[in-house]
């Protein structure tokens, strides 16, 4: 099992996990940050939520109303320019005020069904706001760093190698190539001349760093038995015959805190929310009824 996958599984709690990528990405040096712009962008002025942007028959629509509408999942417009999006949202708010007033006049809000929907949406909004507030308390720089460090410590060290290979179709050809490179010919040059692997041929057969589980078993077994500088005898796999040269061996580095910060914070927020709900359930008297109105046994959450 790769170290990154182990890292991910060790953070499974209450069905919440950090979605770290598996594979060799963690072993690679992250790209250098791009150069800073020549001039800093102007600070975006704070928007007053009470500022009136429109009126409908005397009813005011404010910047705060527009901000709430922009968070509605049904009104997301990811590919629409901001100015056009603002215009569309303002138009929607105008229609909403007009439609709501007309619905009131038609006494739509007087039904029991409407009252139930209103109560449901009020409860949902209250819960969403409460969970958001509580999760923000849990996501602190100290908590994120502590979780990261504890998880890294719990992940066992994993070996990986950097190897080159030459892939050919048959054993006789592989034996001849093995004799050439063991006899002193440059491995990368020979790989560029004869290897049938298009993915590594142009790089002199270089496969980069990999863990044992990322290669087919016969290849991986042979590669991990070699020491740096050693060349294998021909090895057969489902792809053909390989001659392998190990360049380096090392302990695979864990992903850095900066690489995983967003995932760590997401995990902390979701765990805080689930812990809150589980705590509320634990301290509540919950009764379920069957279709005849009789109490049924309450299962533990």
Residues 287 and 295: beta-carbon distance below 8 Å: yes
Shared domain check, 281 and 295: yes
Spatial separation of the C-alpha atoms in residues 64 and 33, rounded to whole Å: 36
pLDDT single digits (tens) 190-202: 999 999 999 999 9
pLDDT single digits (tens) 172-184: 999 999 999 999 9
Residue in 193, 143, 146, 139 with CA at minimum distance from that of residue 166: 193
Name the residue range of residue 199's domain: 159-251
**Which domain CATH number covers 176?**
3.10.50.40
Shared domain check, 82 and 56: yes
| pLDDT of 45 | 66
Let me know if residue 261 belongs to a domain. yes
Residue 13, CA distances (Å) to 133, 152, 183 in order: 21, 16, 55
Shared domain check, 91 and 231: no
The pTM of the whole model exceeds 0.75: no
Residues 214 and 23: beta-carbon distance below 8 Å: yes
Count up the domains in the chain and report the number.
3
Spatial separation of the C-alpha atoms in residues 24 and 211, rounded to whole Å: 8
Boundary-marking domain end, from 228, 251, 274: 251
Which strand ranges, in their side-by-side order, compose the sheet holding 206-211?
206-211, 159-168, 240-251, 235-237
pLDDT single digits (tens) 256-300: 999 999 999 999 999 999 999 999 999 999 888 988 888 887 665
Contacts of 56 (CB under 8 A, 6+ apart): 94, 97, 98
Q: Is 109 helix (H, G, I), strand (E, B) or coil?
A: helix
Location of structure tokens 């049938």: 196
């Amino acid at each position: 099992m790769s170290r990154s996958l182990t890292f991910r599984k060790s953070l499974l709690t209450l069905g919440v996990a950090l979605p770290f990528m598996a594979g060799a990405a963690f072993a690679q040096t992250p790209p250098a940050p791009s150069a800073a712009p020549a001039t800093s962008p102007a600070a975006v002025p704070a928007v007053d939520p009470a500022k009136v942007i429109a009126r409908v028959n005397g009813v005011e629509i404010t910047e705060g109303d527009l901000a709430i509408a922009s968070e509605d999942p049904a009104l997301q417009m990811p590919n629409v320019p901001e100015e056009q999006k603002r215009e569309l949202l303002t138009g929607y708010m105008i229609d909403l005020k007009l439609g709501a007033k007309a619905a009131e006049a038609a006494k739509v809000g007087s039904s029991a069904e409407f009252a139930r929907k209103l109560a449901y949406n009020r409860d949902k909004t209250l819960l969403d706001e409460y969970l958001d507030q509580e999760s923000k308390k849990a996501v602190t720089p100290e908590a994120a760093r502590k979780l990261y460090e504890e998880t890294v410590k719990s992940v066992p060290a994993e070996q990986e190698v950097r190897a080159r290979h030459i892939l050919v179709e048959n054993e006789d050809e592989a034996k001849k190539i093995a004799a050439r490179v063991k006899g002193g010919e440059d491995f990368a040059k020979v790989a560029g001349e004869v290897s049938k692997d298009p993915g590594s041929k142009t790089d002199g057969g270089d496969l980069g760093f990999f863990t044992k589980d990322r290669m087919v078993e016969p290849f991986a077994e042979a590669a991990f038995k070699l020491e740096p500088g050693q060349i294998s005898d021909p090895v057969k796999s489902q792809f053909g015959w390989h001659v392998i040269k190990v360049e380096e061996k090392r302990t695979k580095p864990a992903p850095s805190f900066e690489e995983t910060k967003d995932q760590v914070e997401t995990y902390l927020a979701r765990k805080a929310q689930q812990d809150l709900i589980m705590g509320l359930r634990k301290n509540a008297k919950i009764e379920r009824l069957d279709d005849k109105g009789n109490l049924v046994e309450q299962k533990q959450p």
